[in-house]
Amino acid sequence: MPVIDHLLLDVHGITLSLYSAGPADGRPLWLLHGFPECWHSWRQQIEPLACAGYRVLIPEMRGYGLSSAPSEPEAYDLVTLCGDIQAAMDVLGHTEVGVISHDWGAGMAWYLAMLEPQRVKTLVTMSVPFGGRPKRPAIDIMREVNAGRFNYIVYFQEPGDAEAKLEADVARSLRLLLGGQGEVFLQDKPAGARLLDGLPEPQDLPAWCTAEDFAIYVRTFARGFRGPLNWYRNFARTWQRTEALAGQTILQPTLFLLGERDPVGKLETYTLKRMGERVPRLEQHVLEGCGHWIQNERPAEVNALLSDFLDRHYPA
């Protein structure tokens, strides 16, 4: 494993915790994590990318780990979150970058690519597809579609209860959330239920996560879940702040990866079918038998696809 450096950057009104590896003069590759993950969720990609000659940069996103975690939900809309990374790129002098992303990191990366069409030269997103800015806030649609039954995103909207339940036993919560292939987010139960209600007690860690790895996840969330959950509380605010991006396409060469058993694929069937209209330079791969935690469940396949794509569109 190459040497991993750590910086605390004062940018965009917050402190951003940033891990990096690889040659200082290598082409920058920003790796953006999702929920409930952390910078260490890219551990299987750091060495091959750094050894290929890239400067790998992995922020702890706003709300996570050692980065600032404002308590106000409105501090987490996607334009603000993109601003954190844009400001960090400015401080580091990055005029050309590649972006690799997963889950909420991917949701953010789509907008970063639109906001920075000159600086973001190539884009890799995993698990969360792009269908363009919706005609109305997505949370309004989710509430209508899931009226009368539980939906985890709708449940996360009200601050207080979700973070209290998750923080009551951080290790147990993470075992439940990270276990399996992400099925915990597709539970069929009444609207008044909570995320962890009715789940069996967690046993072993998933095969892709050692005890040492898991300890880093636990330390990340020991500071609390409110910041990470606030990302879910900004669908309306993001929609309002992105009016100028309505109808815009993703112009960069883009690689999209999805696990065959990822529950997001079931929730976003329509978006997946239409994504090529919004992302004309799109390459897609579905990894058979793979769940949501794609870069950890199938690191060899993911790394091979990354290497091929980057060699063609963003060579080191």
CATH number at residue 23: 3.40.50.1820
Under DSSP, is residue 187 helix (H, G, I), strand (E, B) or coil?
A: coil
Predicted local confidence at residue 192, as pLDDT = 85
Q: Helices 170-178 & 211-221, crossing angle to 10 degrees? A: 120
Q: Confirm whether 10 is a catalytic residue.
A: no
Q: Given 12, 33, 102, 292, which residue is catalytic?
A: 292
Q: Confirm whether 103 is a catalytic residue.
A: yes
Q: What's the domain range around 170?
A: 5-313
One digit per residue, the tens of pLDDT, for the chain of length 316 reads 789 999 999 999 999 999 999 999 999 999 999 999 999 999 999 999 999 999 999 999 999 999 999 999 999 999 999 999 999 999 999 999 999 999 999 999 999 999 999 999 999 999 999 999 999 999 999 999 999 899 999 999 999 999 999 999 999 999 999 987 778 888 889 888 888 888 888 878 999 999 999 999 999 999 999 999 999 999 999 999 999 999 999 999 999 999 999 999 988 998 999 999 999 999 999 999 999 999 999 999 999 999 999 999 999 9
Predicted local confidence at residue 129, as pLDDT = 97
Domain count, the chain: 1
Q: Given 103, 161, 204, 311, which residue is catalytic?
A: 103
**Measured between alpha carbons, how far is residue 70 from residues 47, 58, 102, 115, 224 in Å?**
32, 20, 23, 23, 11
Predicted local confidence at residue 309, as pLDDT = 98
Edge to edge, what strands does the sheet with 14-21 contain? 5-11, 14-21, 55-60, 28-32, 97-102, 120-126, 254-259, 282-287
| H helical segments located in the chain | 43-51, 78-92, 104-115, 138-145, 152-156, 161-167, 170-178, 211-221, 226-230, 235-241, 263-267, 269-278, 294-297, 299-313
Under DSSP, is residue 259 helix (H, G, I), strand (E, B) or coil?
A: strand
Under DSSP, is residue 9 helix (H, G, I), strand (E, B) or coil?
A: strand
